[in-house]
Amino acid sequence: MASEPSEAEALEKDPIWVSSRTARQIFALGQVEKDISRLLALAASSISLLTLPQTDGPEDNLPKDDERSELFVLEVNEYFERLNTIQSAIRSSLAQITHSRIAPSAINAPAPNFTPPSLGVGLPASSSAEKQNRGLQEERVERDAWKGILDALQRLKLEQEQESEQGNAEEGGDVEMEATQPAL
């Protein structure tokens, strides 16, 4: 298991992970997440090794013939080792949750309209309740949207003014022509 040395190193660097059983379980789930990303990379690599050598691009750097089969076997073995590690870590975490007798309501998903608080840099809270949990990025997006609206309205107003000036100019030309024609 390749993740054990890195786990020991991480536990030595940050003692928070050994402070409680729950902290160790959280750390183990973090390792599971890393193992899942490696598992997906192994799956992608294994699939590329299964393709026909004629379809390989020059930048793929894939081995040829027997080397290809050997590498496939090695990657598939690592894939199943990782899968087994992930399975045991998830089972261990579930056993910990069951042993701790955590209420199911604490684990349930939040309500559909729940918005988690922004983890970004926030602006001072305003009187509006909906704006309290917004971060800097959300504020920038809203600002840019309002700037876009203002720009569009200004262009629309300018076009309307130009149309009305053209309409007035055409009407004024008609009046001049009527004035120059003799009355009968």
What is the residue range of 43's domain?
3-105
Is it the case that residue 148 has pLDDT exceeding 80? yes
- Domain's final residue, options 62, 90, 105: 105
In this model, does residue 177 exceed pLDDT 90? no
Say if 95 falls within a structural domain: yes
Q: Could you give the angle at which helices 3-13 and 21-50 cross, rounded to 10 degrees?
A: 140
Give the chain's domain count. 2
Q: Which of 34, 25, 26, 40 is nearest to 6 (CA)?
A: 34
- Tens of pLDDT, residue by residue over 41-78, are 889 888 888 777 666 666 666 777 778 888 888 999 99
CA 143 to chain centroid = 22
pLDDT at 146 over 80: yes
Considering the domain boundaries, does residue 45 fall inside one? Answer: yes
Asked if pLDDT for residue 1 goes beyond 50, the answer is no
Average model confidence (pLDDT) across the chain: 76
Q: Quick check: 138 and 115 in contact, CB under 8 A?
A: no
